[in-house]
Amino acid sequence: MDKKNHSLSIIHRESTFVIVDKPGGLLAVPGRGPHKQDCVVNRAKQMIPEMISQPAVHRLDLPTSGLMLLAIDQATHTALSRQFEQRLVKKRYVALLDGIIKKDQGIIELPFRLDPDHRPLQIHDPIRGKIGISHWKRLAVEKERTRVEFRPVTGRTHQLRIHAAHPLGLGTPIVGDFLYGTGKDGDPMYLHACFLEFTHPQTGQRISFSSQIPF
């Protein structure tokens, strides 16, 4: 495997966990088939051989870039996963939306679920859907686009992409989103996980990390 083409940017590394800066277009975890094995997890395991087989504490969508947390041992994975489940982890994302948002800020609460006939598309469903909650704030209007900060409370699949695009959310998709916007498959999507704060699994201290926004 070509190390140059399969490297991974490490933001922070300790003996029990590592934080990487995932590039957009790279899978978080391996998929089915040999063509879907290049991913954050497998690259990290090559760099850290002692890492457990399933180290991902959370995931980012394929086109989403930014901070991703991986555990090196099982006890740390369990402790960090519990923090995500209990909503004790603070996350911030920045997105560029394909239109102008007039409001300054707000909260989006939208129930949605997987559309089994059009995987991996998620659809609004007030009856069978599970609620996704996101705080948002307008940062700037840049020509015909709006830069927005998202602070998700829940961590549902495609949550921020749906909250941006759906008429009951902001009604303005993320630039480059080929599922919920006008982007084409393979286009860069302008959504970046720029901030992560959690409790250190060994010391009990709150720690935080940031990643530079690439757009």
- Give the helix/strand (H/E) hosting 74: helix 74-85
Please work out, in degrees rounded to the nearest 5, the angle formed at the alpha carbon of residue 64 by the alpha carbons of 93 and 51.
100
Catalytic residue among 21, 38, 61, 125: 61
CA atoms within 13 A on the CB side of 24: 19
**Residue 188: helix, strand or coil by DSSP?**
coil
| Closest alpha carbon to 99 in 135, 60, 133, 143 | 143
d(CA 22, CA 62): 9
| Active-site residue, 73 included | no
Q: Active-site residue numbers?
A: 61
